[in-house]
Amino acid sequence: MKTIATVVGARPQFIKVAPVSKALAASGAVKEVLIHTGQHFDADMSDVFFDELGIAKPNHQLAIHGGGHGAMTGAMLQKLEPLLERLKPDRVLIYGDTNSTLAGALAAAKLHIPVAHVEAGLRSFNRAMPEEINRIIADQLSDLLFTSTDAAVNNLRQEGISDARIFPVGDVMYDAALQFAQSASERKDIFAANSIESGRYALATVHRAENTDNTERLRNIVTALEQVALKVPVILPLHPRTAARLNTEGLAFSKVKTIPPVGYLDMVALESQAAVIATDSGGVQKEAFFYQVPCVTLRDETEWVELIELGWNRLASPAKADITGSILAAIGTKGTNSQPYGDGQSAQAIAKVLAAH
Ligand code: UDP
């Protein structure tokens, strides 16, 4: 049986791993070894996802977090290289665009272990984003590229990657959304605990470095969400990076209700009942669409361009736009119905390709 070493470390990767690991196990053709780099380590940023989504405990925990990009990626490489040498997997499987993605791709490629990348081909065309650098390198080093969207396929072609390496399987987060919809719909306590009612609140998330690490953008976001909160309750599960930056900058929310990061099921419950979602998260933009909730993306660009084209999402740059107006104006709007993220069977398609290669 083939062995696949999966390298993950950050919250969105745990959600993507859940359906794929299940499909790999069901295929019976592949043994998966799960390596957690430790990039996200708080219980509410890591353990809760393993518990709620039924992901097997990681086989290896590298416990690397904090530090700058170089220090973190370097420390991951240092630990991944001997581990992969020892495990001798037939392939390394990576997800998304974090430092764990980059380290997994680099460590494997240097050891001549083939790499497969889930959520390949996404581009913001903004190389100031650390994620964009991680994506470009990860895609170049991977021989199997699993894409979520038509736009991603086109981006890879533009970079000269041959169709033989591209597998348009759809989006594994859509698989996860379908698989956990029922359990999420049963989560009621989160509403009572925060005194919010279905359809009568805005949900916000903020964590991209371009927003948290830029004082002006962070201040604009805080001001705008506070203004929205004068009209409609706003709930904001606060990412640890954002919490730390608000503290350093002496910024604080008063009308917006901030809560610690929530687990996936509570998050889906909050997303699916929101009147509007304002976010700089990639995953949350898509989930807003899955639950047919209008979304405002607090960025200058997005990788999920199809959602803008379909009218479910719009951009509001924290550098200049009237964010408050955009968020309030989005309430009650609908986009065009479409299914740009596949049929909810992406994980099975990935497992099939991995078993065959
Ligand atoms: N998420 C969550 N709890 C939260 C905030 C987000 O479970 O408090 C989930 C969200 O539903 C989505 C994923 O985390 O599935 C998105 O991750 P994140 O925003 O951290 O990263 P990105 O998608 O931008 O890479």
Per-domain residue ranges of the chain: 2-171+342-356, 181-330
| Ligand 1 centroid, distance to 163 Cα (angstroms) | 30
pLDDT digits (tens, 9 = 90+) for 282-297: 999 999 999 999 999 9
What share of the chain has pLDDT > 90, as a percent? Answer: 99
- Domain 2-171+342-356 identical in fold to domain 181-330: yes
Q: Which atom of ligand 1 is nearest to the CA of 15?
A: 15
Structure tokens at 295: 């979304």
Residue 321 has pLDDT above 90, yes or no: no
For ligand 1, the distance from its centroid to the CA atom of residue 283, given in whole angstroms, is 6
Q: What are phi and psi of 165, to 5 degrees?
A: -95, -10
The Å distance, Cα 12 to ligand 1 centre, comes to 5
Edge-to-edge strands, sheet with 202-205: 257-259, 234-237, 202-205, 276-279, 295-297, 313-315
The residue whose CA has the least distance to atom 17 of ligand 1 is 12
Query: Residue 263's pLDDT is what?
Result: 98
* Confidence label for 171 from pLDDT (cuts 50, 70 and 90): very high
Burial environment of residue 26 by CB neighbours within 10 A (0 to 12, 13 to 18, 19 or more): exposed
What pLDDT is recorded for position 323? Answer: 96
- Going by pLDDT thresholds of 50, 70 and 90, the confidence category of residue 195 is very high
Read off the pLDDT of each residue in 298-303 and give the average, rounded to a whole number: 98
User: Please, what is the average pLDDT of the chain?
Assistant: 97
Cα distance between residue 142 and residue 313, in whole Å = 30
> Is 241:230 a contact under the CB 8 Å cutoff?
no
User: Over 90: is that where the pLDDT of 320 sits?
Assistant: no
Share of the chain above pLDDT 70, in %: 100
Is pLDDT at 127 greater than 90 in this prediction?
yes
Q: Closest ligand 1 atom to the C-alpha of 237? A: 8
Architecture of domain 181-330: 3-Layer(aba) Sandwich (3.40)
C-alpha 126/C-alpha 128 separation (Å) is 5
Looking at domain 2-171+342-356, which CATH architecture does it have? Answer: 3-Layer(aba) Sandwich (3.40)
* DSSP secondary structure string for all residues of 28-41: SSEEEEEEE--SS-
| 281 Cα nearest atom in ligand 1 | 24
Q: Are 296 and 276 in contact (CB under 8 A)?
A: yes
Residue nearest ligand 1's atom 7 by CA:
264
Q: How far is the CA of 239 from the centre of ligand 1 (A)?
A: 9
Question: What are the distances in angstroms from CA 292 to CA 113, 269, 304?
Answer: 41, 13, 15
Q: What are phi and psi for residue 187, nearest 5 degrees? A: -80, 105
CA distance 237 to 276: 15
In this prediction, residue 44 has a pLDDT band, given cuts at 50, 70 and 90, of very high
Pocket residues: Cβ below 6 A from ligand 1 = 11-12, 15, 205, 207, 237, 261-264, 267, 281-284, 287
pLDDT digits (tens, 9 = 90+) for 75-97: 999 999 999 999 999 999 999 99
Nearest CA to ligand 1 atom 23: 283
Residue 60 tokens read as 């290896």
**Ramachandran class of 99: left when φ > 0, alpha when ψ lies in -120 to 50, beta otherwise:** alpha
What value does the mean pLDDT take over residues 128-154? Answer: 98
Annotated catalytic residues are 207
Decide the pairing of beta strands 144-147 and 166-168.
parallel
pTM, two decimals, is 0.97
